[in-house]
Amino acid sequence: MSAVSTKLSADPEGGHVEAAERRWEATTLAQTLAKMPESQSAFTTASLRPIKRLYTPNDLPDFDYTRDLGFPGEFPYTRGIHATGYRGKLWTMRQFAGFGSPTDTNRRFKYLLEQGQTGLSVAFDLPTLMGYDADSPFSIGEVGKCGVSVSSLADMETLFDGIPLEQVTTSMTINAPASVIFAMFIVTAEKQGADLRRVSGTLQNDILKEYIAQKEWIYPPRPAMRLVTDSIAFCIEHMPKFNPISISGYHIREAGATAAQELAFTLRDGIEYVQFALDAGLKIDDFAPRLSFFFNAHNDFFEEIAKYRAARRLWARLMRDRFGATRERSWMLRFHAQTAGCTLTAQQPYNNVVRVAIQALAAVLGGAQSLHTNSLDETLSLPSEHAATIALRTQQIVAYETGVTNTVDPLGGSYFVEKLTNDLEAEALDYIQRIDAMGGMVAAIEAGFPQKEIQEAAYQYQKAVDSREKIIVGVNGFTQSASQQVPLLLIDESAERAQRERLAALRAKRDNAAVTRALQALADGARTEANTMPLIIEAVRVYATLGEICDCLRPVFGEYQEPAF
């Protein structure tokens, strides 16, 4: 046991405290903590929030059980949005997958479904995420490398060949060109004979976090927000079971944000989407029940659980009290979680299995509606089939062997968890109010506020790692000279060659005059207040490519260039 873990686990009343104190004081961290009061004797791993040795009712002087905690399935949903928790229904096991060609990924999808996965989640390659076709000069060397390459409706048809979209929920992690990929998905479902009103799934479609964290954009924020609003309006009318947006804190956290920043910026992004939709004439209770969220499951076990509980409570109050939503479903925050990719290490990669299991358990104890567990090799390559299976089995072991699904919010009422929940809610609310004062999240992004906050948090975290205040097992502590070898999935250039050939064949056989007309109609419509979704769908239907559709909107909307902050 390390000095750090000895200190944190020592019984304040026990006889080993004195010896543990001496070991603790020999560490670098103790030198920093020695300047603090005893009540601030440790930190959470992610945010450096001071953590006391012991929590009692005195730490919750204003805590009201009914107001702040209540019962599962009841406002403000701190304990969960469903009264029965996982006893009624387990979370969806939705493993993120995609690599190489649509044929390669279709084969992986079918394998995962055979292994017991209960939902699909599509990872797209970098050219697709940026709105480029596989044969674009900007795509060279990147096709199929970090996800599946999708350039046309033909690719989408191959991707879901033999997978009934009316029966399997599908999540698509795509943002800047989300409307185009969504249109391809819609037409593919129609060609399968699916009833769109019964098709369910989630489109990430969260462009704000791209400007904040992930940096994969095409258009400036305001026209990009128009595309998001158009897709929300389309789903209200045509696809009531589909989530048109997954408001994502995951990538904000991966960029270096603290738990409080992830919570605050994600919910403030949600407020911005709600306001833009209202400004477009949509009614709050028509679209709010279909808003979904996507959070990170990081290393600090209790902080992550508290983060999810605080998110539900804060969102419920925002929707009811700020926006006047009257439907209970409008108040409920539903979320997907993914274990933290940024915590995976190339050193001693089998340690990642343990990290993922603990992070997954935090997401489940926090009440996630769906979950992706990372593979042990993802810091080195795309997941191999073997590693992806272990990641899925991790979820299944949590679900069927640990007993944590037997009761709702089993940590509810813990003095520590409730104090953390309150603290995170207060920190997030402070950030939200500061962004409100700036004029909203788009204005804050244009001023560089969330970007600067995340940069500073990432810097402070790295300083703690470099100074060994924060121990990363296998990296700056408990290291080994011998490397551990794991089998890797390597993507060669054959996927790029095959995709280029497919695109050439597609352009040769399609009705190019119809493509030209559809693209012109889209460009003309984008200059008006018309909903762009039906126009994009028509362009997709005649096999206009992703790059062609995105390019026809670039002269209308412009291209975003991030300013120097």
HEC-encoded secondary structure of 13-62: CCCCHHHHHHHHHCCHHHHHHCCCCHHHCEECCCCCCEECCCCCHHHCCC
DSSP 83-109: TTGGGT-PPEEEEEE--BSHHHHHHHH
Q: Structural domains in the chain?
A: 3-59 (no CATH), 71-466 (3.20.20.240)
* Confidence band of 324 (pLDDT split at 50, 70, 90): very high
Asked whether the predicted pLDDT for residue 414 surpasses 80, the reply is yes
* Confidence band of 125 (pLDDT split at 50, 70, 90): very high
Report pTM: 0.91
Asked whether the predicted pLDDT for residue 185 surpasses 50, the reply is yes
Rounded Cα–Cα distance for residues 164 and 317 (Å): 38
Rounded Cα–Cα distance for residues 384 and 469 (Å): 34
What pLDDT does residue 43 have? 52
DSSP 432-469: HHHHHHHTSHHHHHHHTHHHHHHHHHHHHHHHHHHTTS
What pLDDT does residue 8 have? 30
Asked whether the predicted pLDDT for residue 448 surpasses 80, the reply is yes
**Non-local CB neighbours of 530 within 8 Å, separated by 6+ positions:** none
Lowest mean pLDDT among 17-21, 64-68, 177-181: 17-21
What pLDDT does residue 67 have? 85
**Non-local CB neighbours of 410 within 8 Å, separated by 6+ positions:** 365, 404
What pLDDT does residue 47 have? 56
Could you tell me what percent of the chain has a pLDDT over 90?
87
Asked whether the predicted pLDDT for residue 4 surpasses 90, the reply is no
Asked whether the predicted pLDDT for residue 33 surpasses 80, the reply is no
What pLDDT does residue 95 have? 93
Asked whether the predicted pLDDT for residue 313 surpasses 80, the reply is yes
What pLDDT does residue 9 have? 32
Residue among 118, 273, 126, 294 nearest 203 (CA) = 294
DSSP 81: S
For the chain, the average pLDDT equals: 92
Lowest mean pLDDT among 13-17, 88-92, 381-385, 392-396: 13-17
The answer to whether residues 117 and 167 touch, using CB atoms and an 8 Å cutoff, is no
Asked whether the predicted pLDDT for residue 14 surpasses 80, the reply is no
pLDDT in tens, 208-260: 999 999 999 999 999 999 999 999 999 999 999 999 999 999 999 999 999 99
- The encoded tokens of residue 161 equal 């060949």
